Amino acid sequence: MAAEAALAHPAVKPDPRLIVPLDLPTVDEARAMVETLGDSVSFYKVGLELFASDGMALARDLKTAGKQVFLDWKLHDIGTTVQRATSVLAQSGCDFLTVHGEPQVMAAAVRGKGGSNLKILAVTVLTSLSDEDLIETGYHETARALVERRIHQAIAAGCDGVISSPHEAALARALGGRDFLVVTPGVRPDWAAKNDQARAATPLDALKAGASHIVCGRPITAANDPHAAARRVANEMSGV
């Protein structure tokens, strides 16, 4: 069976800029997806769905297997709690951690990571939100204006980067500079459905705009052949 799988999916070099979210109901399903994707993916996102079960055990196992891990916990609490939680997570050896883009929260997370290699990413505006959604929530500015303000605040707080839709990636790159991390969810290839992403773009467009990493989920994990879909996305990314 292993030999047949190897023939079906010959060895490929994964693109480290491609992050695949393991947004699946159970850790067992997530592990199965990792096995299916094999050598086509080297960077995984573990989000709240798995956080509610045994997501940290999965994250540690992925690190042991030589993968990079993005903890998409979106921490948001009083500064002391965020700092302490970040300090604990920094000891896991994981690579990225998200926090909400509020000045006190971001500064606390930066303090909490200490001298570890954990990268703190500030969530600017969720990619599922449109300008109309923000108005309904009580904001009196567009998504782009709010993203710009939060990028400035993230830089001031010492964050390593931001989570930004592909449409604000160029802005984040311009403000943050060459080494600033710009991680873009809401990435949908032309051949995939947009689903609930209000501000989506293709992998190629996101990278050209300034993204350092892209998060691409359902076009890969919901495909009939996830391994082939991941390779297809990586091939599109190779143009940048």
Q: Residue 208 catalytic?
A: no
Report how far residue 133's alpha carbon sits from residue 183's, in angstroms, rounded to the nearest whole number: 22
Residue-averaged pLDDT of the chain = 89
Report how far residue 40's alpha carbon sits from residue 216's, in angstroms, rounded to the nearest whole number: 13
Is residue 73 situated within a structural domain?
A: yes
* Coil vs helix vs strand at 201: strand
Tell me which residue of 57, 56, 47, 4 sits closest to 24, measured CA to CA.
47
Residue with tokens 């919901």: 222
Residue 8 has pLDDT above 80, yes or no: no
Is residue 4 situated within a structural domain?
A: no
Report how far residue 169's alpha carbon sits from residue 187's, in angstroms, rounded to the nearest whole number: 12
Is residue 128 situated within a structural domain?
A: yes
Alpha helix ranges (H) inside the chain: 2-8, 27-37, 48-51, 55-64, 79-90, 103-113, 131-137, 143-157, 169-176, 203-209, 218-221, 226-237
Residue 230 has pLDDT above 80, yes or no: yes
Average pLDDT of span 142-150: 89
**41-45, 89-93, 167-171: segment of lowest average pLDDT:** 167-171
CATH code, domain with 169: 3.20.20.70
pLDDT confidence bin for 202, thresholds 50/70/90: confident
Which pLDDT score is estimated for 4? Answer: 46
Which pLDDT score is estimated for 128? Answer: 78
Q: SS in 3 state form for 65-118? A: CCCEEEEEEEECCCHHHHHHHHHHHHCCCCCEEEEECCHHHHHHHHHHHCCCCC
pTM greater than the 0.75 cutoff: yes
Is residue 178 situated within a structural domain?
A: yes
Is residue 3 situated within a structural domain?
A: no
- For residue 22, the enclosing domain spans 14-237
Which pLDDT score is estimated for 107? Answer: 98
Is residue 232 situated within a structural domain?
A: yes
Residue 25 has pLDDT above 50, yes or no: yes
Residue with tokens 């505006």: 125
Residue 187 DSSP label = B
* Greatest mean pLDDT among 10-24, 151-165, 200-214: 151-165
Paired residues of 65 in beta bridges = none
Residue 53 has pLDDT above 90, yes or no: no
- At 64, the amino acid letter reads T
In the chain, what percentage of residues exceed pLDDT 90? 68
Which pLDDT score is estimated for 52? Answer: 83
pLDDT confidence bin for 193, thresholds 50/70/90: low
Question: Can you state the angle between helices 27-37 and 226-237, rounded to 10 degrees?
Answer: 60
Domain tally, the chain: 1
Which pLDDT score is estimated for 2? Answer: 42
Residue 69 has pLDDT above 70, yes or no: yes
Q: Write b or e for each residue in 193-222: b if 16 or more Cβ atoms lie within 10 A of its Cβ, otherwise e.
A: eeeebbbbbbbbbbbebbbbbbbbbbbbbe
pLDDT confidence bin for 6, thresholds 50/70/90: very low
Which position among 74, 113, 194, 208 bears the catalytic label? 74
